[in-house]
Structure 1
Amino acid sequence: MKTMQYDIGLTFGIDAAVGQFITGYEPGSQYVPSAEENYRFDKSVLRDLMVWWNMNLSGNNKDGMYLFGPTGAGKSAALVNFCALLNIPMYEKTIYEGMEFDVLMGRTEIVGGDTVFMYGVVPLAMGAENEPGILVLNEIDRADDAVLTGLYEVLAGRPLVLDAAGHHVVKPDNAFCFAATGNTNMAGASDDYSNANKQDLAFVDRFWKVSVGYPEKEVEMTILKSVVPDLSDELQEKMIDVANDIRSLHTEGENRIPLTMSTRTLLRWANMTKAYHGFSSAIDVSPIAYAMDRALLNVADRPTRAAIIEVAELHIGDAWASETTKATWTNGGNPLND
């Protein structure tokens, strides 16, 4: 694979960084993910990813990168879009309960009557097919001890011996990197993430630890504008205020609610509000409230539902009620940019 230099400012949309460069690859690998059109990087996370990647390529660092934070904060998306914009092959796998280490290594299959070993994500990322890149294991804090123990040698940069492939040895390419995502700081289960396991200190010690939170209000406004441009600026801002208050109710105080509103859920709510607006006469209710039910509230218990509706009514006001909303869609205060 041939490397090439990318202008950081032009590639990532940072005006102040125009004229500064970072190494990526020429286009062509089938393992490069597609960029998300409306994705916006958190500047701090992007800075960490660029420095980590650059240090790995230069041989000055072989630590893994661990991105952790609440559900829907954009941890995996940061890695996907980073790889997409720099044309870095990415090999992704989500950890699930009971998953065995061999799933990451590969499997044997019968092809044309012959037994063939098919590489898994780990040897592929290490360069087994001459396209090394970033290995991304999602939900790593749910992994069993056996899986993590098997990854020690990989993180240490040692050759990988594939027993199922006749003891075939895969040596890690200099471009091989290991990244992981999770909801916790690897310290074990919490009220919100009961399936998380406490990870061994020796494993945790092999990673950079980068906390990823929800986007700032200005960033979420930019995302909403690009995804649902028909919603008025005023309504978009109120929706973000609702989302931020729900997040606070989820994380702060003694009576925390069990639900939160991720950026993903916020976008779903906004998109559904726009879609249901077109059928407002048929559904005969507020499109904003109706969409909120289907985006989030229909899985809430009664106290949680009441708390979230109180927040929504506080920020959105009369537009939350069905009769007022139906009038608002058609008068001068239209929440949609029709």
Structure 2
Amino acid sequence: MGNMTKLRKYHDEAAKLFEIIKPGVTYRVKDLATESGMPFSTVHYVVRKTLEQNKPGSPLWSLPVVESVSAAPEAKMNLASSVTSIKSAEVYIPKVEKEYVRWGSSKDIEAIMKSRMFYPVYISGPSGNGKTMMVEQSAAKAKVPFLRVQITPETDEDDLIGGFRLINGETVFCKGPVIKAMEEGALLLIDEIDRGTNKIMCLQGVLEGKPVLIKKTGETVSPAEGFNVIATANTKGRGSDDGRFSAATIIDDAFLERFVSAINQPWPSKAIEKKIVGNHMDKFDSVDTDFLDKLITWASIIRKTFEVDGVDEVISTRRLCHIIKTFSIFDDRAKSIEMCINRFDEDTITAFSDLYSKIDAGELTDEEAEEVNTAEVDVP
């Protein structure tokens, strides 16, 4: 079997070609090109890198001699595994989630995806308000290939574009998620992009929809039709003034300018959130409409209090769904809330618990709760 580590490109084409090539048979490049339906130049490149020429100047090529015919299938299997390691296994069409509720800018995101245009979008908003879910489920509805990459302060070009990995004792270049998405014409979701450093500046060309040069192999990859980028963040790229998102960085303005549009996603309305959380009750078979109503009121009061600096923490839509999941296990309202807010400091836990107790006991009706003074839930 040929030395696949010599291939700098056309790995998928090589896999297809080796479904045709048989041990002990000689081939002409033009015949392989005709049989495979691939361009002559592509086949010629793969053949030169992986097969042996019968003699100098000969038009005939064949697989390198192996120790025995029985060893050939094993060699072919090793080739297949090395090729598989660099295919786009992470690209998929997301499954439609029954509990998902379309709201906010979801219709706009779906329209962008269905257009199949290259139209980079930057979505910002509080943590836990459904940004990532909106993008994923929009891709599911539009049946668009999807790939998600999570950004951290350590994310660099090797993670995004690709790098060399040791596989089965051989050094193989593995394409990163950006290249895979480009080749597949997929939607690339860059999650928490404001957690990155200047190490992700390699994405600038990508955000222009232009071909990307893989410096480590010399290959130039052009984006396939349908390729697009959507980024999510908790900030607008200017850092976090209040310190809530301490890992959020200030993003270079030239980098941000490459996004065609920006969307700021707020908290859902009470009606929308009630539907979202209610769907999770259905999902976990723990329907309790009274508990649902009181949770929505509770979260709404806390957010309004947070907006006027009455408390330091907030209850997200995601945390409400966590409470429902916990409730489905323990069937205890107070315990479910307590377990899901224990990450806060003691004063906040006490304030939030006391507020819910008042709502649960009927001491605050919906109308009264809307007018509650911030001092009632203020943290000392």
TM-score with structure 2 setting the length = 0.66
Relative to 1, partners in 2 of residues 1:63 and 1:205: Cα closer, same or farther, differing over 3 Å? farther
CA distance in 1, matches of 2:266, 2:149: 22
SS in 1 for 2:166: strand
Unaligned runs of 5+ in 1: 1-28, 278-286, 321-338
SS in 1 for 2:163: strand
Relative to 1, partners in 2 of residues 1:299 and 1:217: Cα closer, same or farther, differing over 3 Å? same
Instruction: Give CA-to-partner distance per residue, 1:178-206, whole Å, 9 cap, x none.
Output: 11001011111232111111111111122
**Corresponding residue for residue 49 of structure 1:** 109
CA distance in 1, matches of 2:172, 2:143: 29
- Larger radius of gyration between Structure 1 and Structure 2: 2
Question: CA offset at residue 264 of structure 1?
Answer: 1.6
CA distance in 1, matches of 2:160, 2:173: 13
CA distance in 2, matches of 1:97, 1:50: 30
AA in 1 matched with 2:107: R
SS in 2 for 1:91: strand
Contact 1:154 1:160 in 2 (8 A): yes
CA distance in 1, matches of 2:94, 2:241: 32
CA distance in 2, matches of 1:117, 1:268: 40
Question: CA offset at residue 243 of structure 1?
Answer: 1.3
Relative to 1, partners in 2 of residues 1:302 and 1:119: Cα closer, same or farther, differing over 3 Å? same
Question: CA offset at residue 219 of structure 1?
Answer: 2.0
Q: CA RMSD in A?
A: 2.3
**Corresponding residue for residue 351 of structure 2:** 307
SS in 2 for 1:221: helix
Instruction: Give CA-to-partner distance per residue, 1:288-336, whole Å, 9 cap, x none.
Output: 111111111x22223212321232123211699xxxxxxxxxxxxxxxx
CA distance in 2, matches of 1:154, 1:170: 10
1:35-74 paired onto structure 2 within 5 Å:
35-42=96-103, 44-55=104-115, 57=116, 59=117, 62-74=118-130
SS in 2 for 1:136: strand
**Corresponding residue for residue 236 of structure 2:** 185
Contact 1:190 1:196 in 2 (8 A): no
CA distance in 2, matches of 1:69, 1:142: 14
CA distance in 1, matches of 2:246, 2:324: 30
Match of 1:151 among 203, 210, 221: 203
Contact 1:238 1:315 in 2 (8 A): yes
CA distance in 1, matches of 2:167, 2:353: 57
CA distance in 2, matches of 1:80, 1:239: 26
Relative to 1, partners in 2 of residues 1:254 and 1:227: Cα closer, same or farther, differing over 3 Å? closer
**Corresponding residue for residue 137 of structure 1:** 190
1:90 and 2:151 correspond:
no
Of residues 96-105 and 222-231 in structure 1, the stretch that sits farther from structure 2 once superposed is 222-231
Contact 1:63 1:178 in 2 (8 A): yes
AA in 2 matched with 1:199: I
- How many residue pairs are counted as aligned between the two chains? 271
Match of 1:31 among 63, 75, 92: 92
**Corresponding residue for residue 270 of structure 1:** 324
Unaligned runs of 5+ in 2: 1-89, 365-380
TM-score with structure 1 setting the length = 0.74
Match of 1:81 among 137, 141, 145: 137
Relative to 1, partners in 2 of residues 1:54 and 1:30: Cα closer, same or farther, differing over 3 Å? closer
CA distance in 2, matches of 1:311, 1:150: 48
